[in-house]
């Protein structure tokens, strides 16, 4: 997350720690990564919407989720305007980090090796998401 950017949803560090589990906090506020294959949402196949665990912003529709074989939930495209990106130069490589446009929480990374039609793969930490099934 870009600490210089003012997001519509802001919280103190204490409020983030109260809202998120320790693993969610490490990933979403500390730019961490969950262990591959560790999140139940990796196998979620119902119709619905994946929302930000930090602010409930709708991020990804289930019809754009696909199995990438990476161990993290993967999507072609986010809900319009819900995800922003920045350049991530950590770990000696250059990647495109994606974060929630509403609260700035780190979600994962986007790569250009996905399936058609966008050829994008939004590789998202499952702990950064909650799933809301269609009613």
Enzyme catalytic residues: 123
DSSP string, the chain: --TTSPPSS---HHHHHHHS-HHHHHHHTT---PPTT--GGGG--SSEEEEETTT--EEEEGGGEE--SSSS-EES-PSTTSEEEEEE-GGGS-EEEEEETTT--EEEEEES---TTT--EEEE-GGGEEEEE--
């Amino acid at each position: 997350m870009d600490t210089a950017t003012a997001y519509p949803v802001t919280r103190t560090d204490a409020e983030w720690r109260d809202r998120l589990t320790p693993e969610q906090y490490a990933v979403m506020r500390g730019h961490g990564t969950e262990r591959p294959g560790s999140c139940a949402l990796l196998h979620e196949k119902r119709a619905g919407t994946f929302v930000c665990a930090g602010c409930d912003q709708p991020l990804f529709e289930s019809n754009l989720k696909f199995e990438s074989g990476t161990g993290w939930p993967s999507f072609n495209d986010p809900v319009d305007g819900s995800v922003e990106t920045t350049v991530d130069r950590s770990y000696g490589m250059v990647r495109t980090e994606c974060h929630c446009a509403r609260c700035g929480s780190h979600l994962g990374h986007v790569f250009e090796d996905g399936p058609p039609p966008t050829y994008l793969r939004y590789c998202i930490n499952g702990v950064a998401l909650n799933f809301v099934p269609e009613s």
